[in-house]
Structure 1
Amino acid sequence: MPQIHMESPYFSKLQAGAQGNLIRDFDPEEYTMLIERYGDLINRWSAAPELEGAEAFADMCRKHNVKLSIGHSDAEYDRVLEAYDMGFECVTHLYSCTSTVHRKDAFRYAGIVEAAYMIDGMDVELIADGKHLPASLLQFAVKHKGDDRIALVTDATRFGGMEDGAEKQLGISNVIIEDGVAKLPDRSAFAGSICTSNRLVRNMIQLAGVSLLDAVKMITVNPARMAGLQPVDKPIVRLADQEKGRDILSK
């Protein structure tokens, strides 16, 4: 694993998911120490751009070539546009702990989900485990973001691949494995998935109706481009076709 994705702790308490009490506002002393000491190991850092101090955090990340992603955020549409200009060019697991259209008094406001579709250059992650998102939302994302801007992610913890019935400790939280997904004990939220990458490809083919080539692209070429790990100009992906083996030149 060449580098890591920091998902925590500068998140919105309104979009905590299973993050619990560990989330907090931006701490300049803390993130400066982490970036200066370990910046060469950090590829991307997810944070909530509506929190006070987001601009300074983004500046520090950009200075050290750490990519930025919107995650566990309750930001409204206009703030997402500002965040994109600040360098937040990806949405961490779209739909999961991300704001969407909501109402304040009589007025409706768009959120991260809507902004992600409106910003052509915004990449999005999808947890395609078949649990976090129904087939309809996977299909919607493919239709409106296309195969170039979607990265498939498992969002799996160390419990990936485990069977139903297990009860485990995840950080400071207990989790249960039930219905093919990790949950908080009160079942109020998922606590990551237990999915493996091969299942993401299968689910996108079966649930979202994408081709094998596009599903493989979403889990290989696109994440590599987003991470800046390798050139991906017209990569050749060898696919094992059940009927006949062939080399396919990606679009």
Structure 2
Amino acid sequence: MKRIKIFNGNIITPYRTITDGTIIIENGIIQEVSESPVEITDAETIDANGAWIAPGFIDLHTHGAGNYDFMDGTVEAYLQAARMHATHGTTLLFPTTLTSTKELLFESFDIYRKAKVLNREGAAFGGLHLEGPYFAMSQRGAQDPRYILSPDPKDYMEILERSTDIVRWSAAPELPGALPFANELSRRHILPSIAHTDAIYEEVLKAFEYGFTHITHFYSCMPGITRRNAFRYAGVIEAGYLIEGMTVEIIADGIHVPESLLKLVYRIKGPDNIALITDSMRAAGMPEGKSILGSLSDGQEVIVEDGVAKLPDRTAFAGSVATTDRLVHTAITLAGIPLPEAVRMASSTPARIAGIQERKGSLVPGKDADIVIFDDCIDIKTTIINGNIIYKKQDI
């Protein structure tokens, strides 16, 4: 029996903070969360030295990191990106594809199946998130226009039959065929998510009834109030606020969603309906300069500057270079969100959106021991995944 004792830290539980608390882990599962010292034999001990002890961060939307992209077509890309994310506090991530050829997509499926078996030193994989190709061309952002389509049963059924690892699929709900597509996803327990869309409120409301209960990178590649034939219509942004039960994810790097909008979405939606996501591409954790969005063989050139990736002509952002520790830090320092609630937006809320809240997302007995230890600056000291110490910062 493998035991770990974490002590002398401030434990962030779902509803309170335990000062100078202790956590006991056995065989990868949290056994005890205590306000008092716990005597236990034959346990590896971790002294938190007064730091914060929090549930591991869950990234619902990431394309890569450390100069690797999940579309690169190599097991190494998956494993190295996962390692990089783990050093920044991510314990579970959902590898995200880009609009591409079907052949490249299928290759990514095969690589993922191999990588998830070999992944022992990085953030765990929660399943695949497909981003595209069913998008509004006008809201494509940095998605490759060569491959954008409308949902066709012959197309998406072939894709669905090729992989049982798909857990989420982002699409524009106003496209012809999008609602039957969402029905099929829901039938397979795959989350339909609204993205790269020109929908108006009425279309989003109907889509919500068909299973589109989440909005991908809120504020990015979607309209607010628009005019059609001189009449005003509320857009996806207003729908995200108005529809009770609709969850949203935000790229909280302080750039994709600036300070004023971070404060607005937090005030209206609250921490239980907001997930912090990186939407990171290969340049996350790398120096600024030229990079590639998507696969090395078929991706798009981008430029990283001002703490964000952009298309070369600067007409659109091209994914982010954020990591989850940066998201939490930005939420606290820029938007004034209390630390426990920022942590909730990076852990228990994404766990509930992904439907894995029974096992992940909070520090309570019986759940997986996915734990991150950090200081007041959200500088990651230790990352534990399923009871295994994956990363421990060496103090110099």
TM-score of the aligned structures, taking structure 1 as reference length: 0.91
Deviation of 1:62 after TM superposition, in Å, equals: 1.4
CA distance in 1, matches of 2:326, 2:282: 16
CA distance in 2, matches of 1:169, 1:219: 24
1:131 aligned to which of 228, 237, 255: 255
Larger Rg: 2
Task: Report the equivalent of 1:117.
Answer: 241
Q: Which has the higher helix share?
A: 1
Task: Report the equivalent of 1:34.
Answer: 159
Task: Report the equivalent of 1:12.
Answer: 136
Residue 60 (str. 1) matches residue 184 (str. 2): yes
Listed one character per residue, the Cα deviations across residues 190-246 of structure 1 (whole Å, up to 9, x for unaligned) are 00001111000000001111111111110111111111123279943876565xxxx
Query: What is the letter of the counterpart of residue 155 of structure 2?
Result: E
CA distance in 1, matches of 2:228, 2:174: 17
CA distance in 2, matches of 1:58, 1:102: 25
CA distance in 2, matches of 1:207, 1:36: 44
Residue 272 of structure 2 aligns to a residue whose secondary structure is coil
CA distance in 2, matches of 1:56, 1:168: 34
Counting only pairs closer than 5 Å after superposition, residues 126-205 of structure 1 correspond to structure 2 as 126-168=250-292, 170=294, 171-205=298-332
CA distance in 1, matches of 2:360, 2:135: 34
Listed one character per residue, the Cα deviations across residues 73-105 of structure 1 (whole Å, up to 9, x for unaligned) are 110010000000000000001100012101234
Go from structure 1 to structure 2 and tell me whether the alpha carbon gap of 1:206 and 1:53 turns closer, same or farther (over 3 Å shift). same
User: Mean Cα displacement is larger for which, 11-20 or 99-108?
Assistant: 99-108
CA distance in 1, matches of 2:160, 2:253: 32
* Pairwise CA RMSD: 2.0
CA contact (8 A) 2:282 2:292 kept: no
Residue 73 (str. 1) matches residue 209 (str. 2): no
Deviation of 1:173 after TM superposition, in Å, equals: 1.4
CA contact (8 A) 1:157 1:194 kept: yes
Listed one character per residue, the Cα deviations across residues 171-203 of structure 1 (whole Å, up to 9, x for unaligned) are 431111111111101110000001111000000
Where structure 1 has 5 or more consecutive residues not aligned to the other structure, the ranges are 243-251
CA distance in 2, matches of 1:169, 1:42: 21
Residue 205 of structure 1 aligns to a residue whose secondary structure is helix
Residue 88 of structure 1 aligns to a residue whose secondary structure is coil
Residue 26 of structure 1 aligns to a residue whose secondary structure is coil
Residue 148 of structure 1 aligns to a residue whose secondary structure is helix
CA contact (8 A) 2:251 2:276 kept: yes
Residue 225 (str. 1) matches residue 352 (str. 2): yes
CA distance in 2, matches of 1:192, 1:117: 24
CA distance in 2, matches of 1:30, 1:224: 30
Query: What is the letter of the counterpart of residue 150 of structure 1?
Result: I
CA contact (8 A) 2:284 2:320 kept: yes
CA distance in 2, matches of 1:87, 1:236: 29
Task: Report the equivalent of 1:236.
Answer: 363
CA distance in 2, matches of 1:119, 1:140: 16
Deviation of 1:27 after TM superposition, in Å, equals: 2.4
Where structure 2 has 5 or more consecutive residues not aligned to the other structure, the ranges are 1-124, 365-370, 377-396
Residue 206 (str. 1) matches residue 333 (str. 2): yes
Go from structure 1 to structure 2 and tell me whether the alpha carbon gap of 1:122 and 1:216 turns closer, same or farther (over 3 Å shift). same
- Aligned-residue sequence identity (percent) comes to 49
Residue 160 of structure 2 aligns to a residue whose secondary structure is helix
CA contact (8 A) 1:148 1:222 kept: yes
CA distance in 2, matches of 1:27, 1:232: 35
2:148 aligned to which of 3, 19, 23: 23
How many aligned residue pairs are there?
242
CA contact (8 A) 2:348 2:361 kept: no
Go from structure 1 to structure 2 and tell me whether the alpha carbon gap of 1:232 and 1:138 turns closer, same or farther (over 3 Å shift). farther
Q: Which has the higher strand share?
A: 2
User: Mean Cα displacement is larger for which, 190-199 or 223-232?
Assistant: 223-232
TM-score of the aligned structures, taking structure 2 as reference length: 0.58
CA contact (8 A) 1:225 1:232 kept: no
CA distance in 2, matches of 1:232, 1:211: 25
Deviation of 1:55 after TM superposition, in Å, equals: 1.9
Task: Report the equivalent of 1:92.
Answer: 216
Instruction: List structure 1 runs of 4+ shifted beyond 3 angstroms.
Output: 167-172, 232-242
CA distance in 1, matches of 2:293, 2:354: 30
Deviation of 1:120 after TM superposition, in Å, equals: 1.4
CA contact (8 A) 1:35 1:64 kept: no
CA contact (8 A) 2:348 2:357 kept: no
